[in-house]
Amino acid sequence: MKRLLIFPALVLASVGLLFGCNQEPVPDEEHEHPAVVITEWNDSTELFLEYPHLLVGEPTGNWAIHLSDMKTFLPITQGTLEVRFLRGGEEVRSFTLDAPARDGIFLLDPVIEEAGIYEVHLDLATEQVLSRHVLPEVRVWTNASELPHDAEEEDGGIPFLKEQQWVIPWGIQRVGEQAVQSTVMAPAEIVARDGALVQVSAPASGIAAEELNRGAPSVGERVRAGQV
């Protein structure tokens, strides 16, 4: 019995060993690099921006620049957006977008030739709105090996895209403390003001026949003096 139990185990181990010797090494999976997400407000507009990390001299994909009017919380539908990359206070590169690609969204694929950390100004000019948003640190990486790896996503979040917000009554306000009027929960009864309520009583008790009262006024209908 011992030989019968041990022999299959030895065969399996040998097969596994031979298979392992002939198996090619599996390369490491490529890491995903999270996009940069920015939300910023000023007195005129709300900025929501999501873009992939920038690599020197390479187009890395569109910047989706979402802009909303803070007065109406509706998308910006016209105007010019200038995007300027500055380093040490000096402008290195600028891009001008003459109009949104679609309501509320300007698209840009910037190519920057030198690595480093830039300050990016987004200047919007329309007939109704003049607005500037400043991104203090936008990094341009030398190569993809330097990019940060994918971070763990937080559980429990519910996505609510700007395209969804723009089609419903929606607004955002900065959280803060303020004085509010105190209230007290209490039972109450709503009655007519003095002199505006009249109680009409039947002169005799009994049952009102339906066929004789088809023309009777309904609840809420205006009546006149002497009306049956």
Q: What share of the chain is helix, strand, coil (3-state, %, to 5)?
A: 15, 30, 55
Provide the pLDDT confidence category of residue 16 given band limits of 50, 70 and 90: very low
61/47: higher pLDDT = 47
Are the CB atoms for 42 and 71 separated by under 8 Å?
Answer: no
Which value, in Å, is the radius of gyration of the alpha carbons in the chain?
A: 36
105 pLDDT above the threshold of 90: yes
Report d(CA 59, CA 140) in Å as an integer. Answer: 12
Report d(CA 40, CA 142) in Å as an integer. Answer: 27
Question: Which residues pair with residue 81 across a beta bridge?
Answer: 97, 124
Provide the pLDDT confidence category of residue 192 given band limits of 50, 70 and 90: confident
**Tens digits of per-residue pLDDT, 118-150?**
999 999 999 889 999 999 999 998 888 888 765
**Tens digits of per-residue pLDDT, 165-189?**
998 888 877 788 988 888 889 999 9
Q: What is the pTM of this model?
A: 0.61
Report d(CA 96, CA 85) in Å as an integer. Answer: 12
Strands 54-55, 130-141: pairing kind: parallel
168-184 exposure pattern, b = at least 16 Cβ within 10 A, e = fewer: eeeeeeeeeeeeeeeee
Sequence length of the chain is 228
